[in-house]
Chains A and B, each alone.
Chain A
Amino acid sequence: MNSLDAQFAALADPARRAILTRLARGEATVAELQRPLGISQPAVSRHLKVLEEAGLIAQSRAAQARPRRLRPEGLEAARQWIDGLRDLWSDSFDRLDAFLADPAQGETR
Chain B
Amino acid sequence: MTDTPRFTITRAFAAPRARVWDAWTEPEALAQWFGPKGTCGSILAFDFRPGGEWRGRMDMPDGGGTMYSKFVFREIEPMSRLVWVHGFADAEGNRIRAPFAEQFPLEMLTVVHFADEGEGTRVDLSWTPLDATPEEEAFFVSMMASMNGGWSGSFEQLDEFLAGG
Chain A positions within 8 Å of B, measured between CB atoms, are: 3-5, 8, 11-12, 77-78, 80-101, 105, 107-109
Q: Which residues of A contact B60 (CB under 8 A)?
A: 4, 77, 80-81, 84
Bound-state Cα–Cα, A92 to B146, Å: 17
How many pairs of residues, A versus B, come closer than 8 Å at their CB atoms?
103
Please determine whether B99 and A8 come into contact, CB atoms closer than 8 angstroms.
Answer: yes
A107 and B16 alpha carbons, distance in the complex (Å): 10
Please report B residues at the A interface, Cβ cutoff 8 Å: 7, 9, 11, 13-15, 19-20, 22-23, 26, 29, 32-39, 58, 60-62, 64-65, 67, 98-102, 104, 123, 125, 127, 143-144, 146-147
- Known contacts A77-B65, A90-B147, A99-B23: A84-B15 contact under CB 8 Å: no
Q: Show 6 A/B contacts (Cβ-Cβ < 8 Å), sorted by A.
A: A84-B35, A95-B32, A95-B34, A95-B35, A96-B20, A100-B19
In Å, the complex CA distance between A97 and B101 comes to: 30
What's the dominant secondary structure at chain B's contact region? mixed
Does A100 lie within 8 Å of B23, measured CB to CB? yes
Chain B: minimal CB distance from A102 (Å): 9
- Asked whether, in the complex, the Cβ of A108 is within 8 Å of the Cβ of B29, the reply is yes
A86 and B11 contacting across the interface, CB-CB below 8 Å: no
- Known contacts A78-B100, A108-B26; A86 and B32 CB within 8 A of each other: no
Given A77-B60, A80-B61, A99-B29, A87 and B19 touching (CB < 8 A)?
no
Chain A residue with Cβ nearest B143 = A86
